[in-house]
A = this chain, B = another copy of it.
Amino acid sequence: MHITQHTDYALRVLIYLGACPERRVTIKEMASSFDISRSHLMKIVTRLVTDGFIEGVRGKGGGLRLLRAPADIGVGEVVRRMEPGFDLVECFRTDSSCLLSPGCRLKSALRTALQAFLESLDTTTLADLIVNQPRLRSLLNVTAIRPSA
């Protein structure tokens, strides 16, 4: 059972932006910090923009910033939006061919468990993830001043 790295990185982007609210952060900077390619991170960022979590400003001096208040961004919501699918097993899919399906109670048990999972994540917001902003900033090796790189 895994969550895709897309979702993982999406959360890291939000944490990064939440830790640096006073400036625009570029994809390049974050890609370098996360040690992945600019193009790769771009996809995740594009998705976050589409979903209204963040805003991208093009052109010189541009960059990214949060569009919503950290306390208003639930981890559950991010996971729900970023994950490609929650069809835990075959019978969740429309083309399921499992003979048992019509009389099977497994599906509803799994659905309930999935709900419990997401609802648990709903209790945490981005604000909770960045409570210790100074600590995060030092971990990311960023200061209030834009790093030279």
A residues neighboring B (CB under 8 Å): 1-3, 5, 7-8, 11-12, 15, 33-35, 75, 83, 85-90, 97-100, 102-106, 109-110, 112-121, 124, 128-129, 131-132, 135-136, 139-141
**What's the Cα separation between A108 and B148 when bound, in Å?**
33
Given contacts A109-B75, A129-B105, contact A140 B5 (CB under 8 A): no
For this complex, 15 residue pairs linking A to B, each with C-beta atoms less than 8 Å apart, are A1-B2, A1-B3, A1-B83, A1-B85, A1-B86, A2-B88, A12-B98, A99-B140, A99-B141, A103-B136, A103-B139, A109-B120, A109-B121, A109-B128, A113-B117
Interface contact A5-B106, CB-CB below 8 Å: no
